[in-house]
Amino acid sequence: MVQCPECKTDNKKPSRTWKILDEPNRFGVFNERGVGIFQCFRCGTTFPSVVGNRQLAIVDANKYAQLNKRITALIDENTKLKEEVDVVSLQAKVDALEREVSALINEKKELHTKLSRYR
């Protein structure tokens, strides 16, 4: 929403847009600004306004591709490690349950033995 400077009406869409690139700084970072020309739907006034702004950087294309590859590999590795952790924690739960079951079986045997003495 861009406000008309004359009648203060909010206008939604520019009639025309283009992009302006600033000079890169010493780190190769620069701004890309979107500029739009609006014509107020109420009073007809034509005025410009910034409709978007983002920061871009000049980077070595090969290095960028290498970094992308590396990030993808790290994400894959992270997913695998998480799966392994899940397997390890599930195995620990299984072990604990098995110990509990064998303890209950022993307890049952002892109770049966005690019970048989009273018969």
30: Cβ contacts below 8 Å, ≥ 6 apart: 21, 22, 23, 24, 55, 56, 57, 58
Position 2 contacts Zn ion (CB under 5 A): no
Site for Zn ion contains 7 (CB under 5 A)? yes
> Considering the rule CB under 5 A, would residue 40 count as an interface residue with Zn ion?
yes
Q: Which residues contact 3 (CB under 8 A, 6 or more apart)?
A: 9, 10, 11
Within 13 A of 81's CA, how many CA atoms are on the CB side? Answer: 6
The answer to whether residues 85 and 60 touch, using CB atoms and an 8 Å cutoff, is: no
| Residue with Cβ nearer Zn ion (9 or 17) | 9
Kindly state the smallest distance separating residue 41's Cβ from Zn ion, in Å.
8
Interaction pattern, residues 42-81, with Zn ion; x per rule: CB under 5 A? xx-x------------------------------------
Give the residues lining the site for Zn ion (CB under 5 A).
Answer: 4, 6-7, 9, 40, 42-43, 45
